[in-house]
Amino acid sequence: MNDPQHNDERLLELLADRSLFELSADQQAELRALLANSNIDPDSFDSAAALAAAALTPVSHEPLPAHLRQKIAAAAPAHLATARKSTTPSSATQTFVAPASRTSLSRGIRFQEVVAWCAAAACLMFAFYNWSATQRATNLTASEARAALLREAPDATTFDWTATPDPTAKGATGNVVWSNAKQQGYLDFKGLAMNDPKVNQYQLWIFDGNQDERYPIDGGVFDIESMTGDVIVPINAKLHVVDPKMFAITVEKPGGVVVSSRERIALLAKR
């Protein structure tokens, strides 16, 4: 059995998502089905909720996306016209409804509009603040992002590097931080030799317990531009990691490789 309250909450959630992000085909179909059984005007939702978000957001936050500003401007005239009509009962309604009933009806309509608008604004505000937080996170330095991961991800695990006899790793130390829940991690190096990107690059490999060890997950190619201080590199895993058992840094040709020969392994970090 469908729960009307749940349907309304889901509808507002999808409308908020549509205002900020591109919906998938399944989400679009779900939104159309929910709108068919609702009297909420999606265009009015966009303009009202976006205006509320813009008005209540401090100026220090990231600006609204351009497409959202355009939606506000485009929807404003139609929304104002709709709002005027919705508060005035039709002549047919005035014929059959007593004066006291018309007053109650008008108040009921206005009350429903206020509730719908407030719910819409709150829903989009929540989505907007999530979007804004994501934008701010992208502006963090690698060091700040690593610290945030350790602070905010309960499952974040640290793996210490072990240097191999390869000359690039002589005296190198550091660790790997990885969170399976967030599928996010960082490499921390100190003392790993600088490389010339035109000659070779470093490449990370993640050995997953659920995957054939002959084909570890590519974690991205990177360069070391300084041997002084800590160098922190974000992990760019090409596949979803399920059970990380070991991390390995190899020395490869510029651009990296699809399958490493593992002739030159510089660092290893095991669970």
Q: How many residues in the chain?
A: 271
pLDDT of residue 226: 83
Given a cut of 90, whether residue 265 has pLDDT beyond it is: yes
Given a cut of 60, whether residue 237 has pLDDT beyond it is: yes
pLDDT of residue 36: 82
- Average pLDDT rounded to a whole number, residues 174-201: 96
pLDDT of residue 229: 76
92 pLDDT tier (thresholds 50, 70, 90):
very low
pLDDT of residue 90: 46
Domain ranges for the chain: 4-138, 142-270
Given a cut of 90, whether residue 199 has pLDDT beyond it is: yes
Q: How far is CA 134 from CA 61, 79, 128, in A?
A: 11, 30, 10
Pairing of strands 162-163, 244-252: unpaired
Given a cut of 90, whether residue 207 has pLDDT beyond it is: yes
- Average pLDDT rounded to a whole number, residues 166-189: 96
pLDDT of residue 169: 95
How far apart CA 56 and CA 122 sit, in angstroms, is 11
Higher per-residue confidence, 34 vs 181: 181
Given a cut of 70, whether residue 115 has pLDDT beyond it is: no
Spatial contact of 213 and 260, defined as CB atoms under 8 Å apart: no
* Average pLDDT over all residues of the chain: 77
HSE value, Cβ hemisphere, 13 Å, CA-based, for 108: 7
Percent of the chain with pLDDT over 70: 60
**Residue bearing tokens 């939104």:** 31
pLDDT of residue 195: 96
30 pLDDT tier (thresholds 50, 70, 90):
confident
Given a cut of 90, whether residue 108 has pLDDT beyond it is: no
Given a cut of 60, whether residue 17 has pLDDT beyond it is: yes
Spatial contact of 237 and 178, defined as CB atoms under 8 Å apart: no
Q: Is the pTM of this model over 0.85?
A: no
